[in-house]
Amino acid sequence: MHPTPSVQTPPSVPLLAAEQIVKRFGAFVALDHVDFEIRSGEIHALLGENGAGKSTLMNILSGLLRPTEGRILLDGTAVRFSSPSDAERAGIGMVHQHFLLVPTLTVRENLLLSAERSFGGPLSYPLQRTVEQARAVADRLGWNIPWDSLAGRLPVGTQQRIEILKALRGETRLLIFDEPTAVLTPTETPELFDTIRRLAEEGRGIVFISHKLNEVRDLAGRVTVLRRGKVVFRTTTDATDATGLARAMVGEDSEAALLLNASPPDSSGRRTTTGEAPRLSVDLSLGPELGQHRNRLTEIRFDVAAGEIFGIAGVDGNGQGELADCLSGLQRPDRGAVLLDGVSLPVAPAAFRRNGIAIIPADRQRRGLALPMSITENVALGAYDKAEYRRGPILLWPALTRRAAGLIARFDIRASGPDALTRSLSGGNQQKVVIARALADTPRAVIAVNPTRGLDVGAIAFVYDALRRARDEGAAIVLISTELEEILTLADRVAVLYEGRITGIVPPTTSRETFGLLMGGQGVAG
């Protein structure tokens, strides 16, 4: 019925080209002279680790951000987007990873929210025309959409189809999919791929953002790989294999390691002798919870010895948060348990802490600290129930303040004193408070989650040093991090987490390709 929206450009002129794009945030260079182009009818994959600059680039193409330098060409003509609606008018649509639907409104009403302004008069809701247009697209794609259901009640796959309908208008020529499979079930993914292929066949250009290697190879023609804001690899899927992509994504060098490594990476490897009982023994599974965005954890099994740093690598959102919650006593696994020196602990953060498991949580401003409170009070959170700091129900604040002052000196926290509010500290010093609380009393085990996220180089070196020292004092350390460099710098052994499963436990000397493959879900035996 509907004619295919094809303003076919000659193959020589790309549909959209970004030339020499630079984006700076303060001193931080998020994109460093990036070239990127999409032709009509092609599926172009954009691959890269967390923080490689994928989202920044796409936000520039869809008008959310403005580039510091460089230009964008549409059909060979320079354009300038000052808002997302400019980009929409130019025919660029984006399907966001996190759906932007109002769950309490019906599908119709949600479509109306993003309806074109040109539809309907100034006083009328263009409901009819908006839904008609969406229905035509849905029919063409063979979708059965329950138009009058509440958006929040629909399965995730259907919600995503509504997002696609929102992004697709009559003249949309370029569609950006931001990690669209992250939220889908295994059966929904092939259906989405069929849709994406159909949309490309109709002459649209598709950008497919992912870090799953098999998906990229399945779907895309051309691949561009970003690493630390630079294009490091441009290829076609015919010309390369998963290994090549993995190597490009993860990189050979380790600038960070060179920069931060006061002591060279441990070659001693695992510090246990055979027969020694592990300090921490984990064997658990966790099912997904209905109605909540919770990842599944399947058969997570590993042992950590006293004096060992066990790294857990993987791309963000593959179950790290759920695993960290299970390891810190916040979440009860559906099956299995966490054993400390062979003893199963009651599932409660207080019990874990009292038995010597220290936590460095991922979100220091929310979970790590009570920001409106002082350093003394925040470090007291790790000791307020110890007998030496209380007499009956009374807390001995003078003793707790002395303890805080000692920790400020020991962990080099830059603050006006123990009474300084943690809100007034820099990010690095806030993290030092969290670490001081965790490592104050020689813990038996430490669970550290992204302990250096957002910190500058000096603070990162400090954190690494503190973790190494805790290990040398005999703690078993689980380091969950999405920064592969960090894990390779610190860990004695590394497990890779992919979709809630451990795809392999390997030494840190393993090749980057293998890590890339494991992180992309390509199982490697061993």
Question: With respect to other proteins, which residue has the nearer C-beta, 434 or 506?
Answer: 434
Backbone φ, ψ for residue 132 (5° rounding)? -60, -45
Backbone φ, ψ for residue 210 (5° rounding)? -160, 165
CA 149/CA 280 separation, integer angstroms: 48
Question: With respect to other proteins, which residue has the nearer C-beta, 89 or 444?
Answer: 444
Question: With respect to other proteins, which residue has the nearer C-beta, 167 or 436?
Answer: 436
Q: How far is the CB of 342 from other proteins (least distance, A)?
A: 22
CA 386 vs CA 346, 375, 381, 392, 395: distances in Å: 18, 18, 10, 11, 10
Site of tokens 């916040």: 330
CA 348/CA 342 separation, integer angstroms: 17
Q: How far is the CB of 425 from other proteins (least distance, A)?
A: 8
Contact 143, 161 (CB under 8 A): yes
Q: How far is the CB of 393 from other proteins (least distance, A)?
A: 5
Look at the alpha carbons of 313, 50, 101, 42 in this order and tell me if their dihedral is positive or negative: negative
In DSSP notation, 234-282 reads EEEGGG--HHHHHHHHH-S--HHHHHH-SSPPPSS---PPTTPPPSEEE
Q: How far is the CB of 357 from other proteins (least distance, A)?
A: 11
Q: Locate the DSSP E strands across 416-500.
A: 445-449, 476-480, 493-498
Q: How far is the CB of 478 from other proteins (least distance, A)?
A: 16
Question: With respect to other proteins, which residue has the nearer C-beta, 177 or 352?
Answer: 352
Question: With respect to other proteins, which residue has the nearer C-beta, 7 or 350?
Answer: 350
Question: With respect to other proteins, which residue has the nearer C-beta, 269 or 346?
Answer: 346
Question: With respect to other proteins, which residue has the nearer C-beta, 43 or 420?
Answer: 420
Question: With respect to other proteins, which residue has the nearer C-beta, 396 or 505?
Answer: 396
Beta-carbon contacts of residue 271 (< 8 Å; ≥ 6 apart):
305, 306, 307, 308, 492
Q: How far is the CB of 361 from other proteins (least distance, A)?
A: 6
Q: How far is the CB of 384 from other proteins (least distance, A)?
A: 6
Question: With respect to other proteins, which residue has the nearer C-beta, 145 or 340?
Answer: 340
CA 73/CA 292 separation, integer angstroms: 41
CA 322/CA 242 separation, integer angstroms: 28
Nearest Cα neighbor of 360 from 384, 324, 385, 333 is 324
Q: How far is the CB of 381 from other proteins (least distance, A)?
A: 4
Q: How far is the CB of 130 from other proteins (least distance, A)?
A: 35
CA 116/CA 96 separation, integer angstroms: 19
Beta-carbon contacts of residue 225 (< 8 Å; ≥ 6 apart):
47, 48, 231, 232, 233, 234, 235, 245, 248, 249
- If one counts every other C-beta atom within 10 angstroms of the C-beta of residue 471, the result is 21
Q: How far is the CB of 353 from other proteins (least distance, A)?
A: 5
Contact 5, 173 (CB under 8 A): yes
Using CB under 8 A, list all residues that contact other proteins.
328-330, 348-354, 359, 361, 363, 366-373, 377-378, 380-382, 384-385, 390, 393-395, 397, 416-417, 419, 423-424, 426
Look at the alpha carbons of 57, 62, 67, 70 in this order and tell me if their dihedral is positive or negative: positive
Question: With respect to other proteins, which residue has the nearer C-beta, 146 or 417?
Answer: 417
Structure tokens at 185: 């079930």
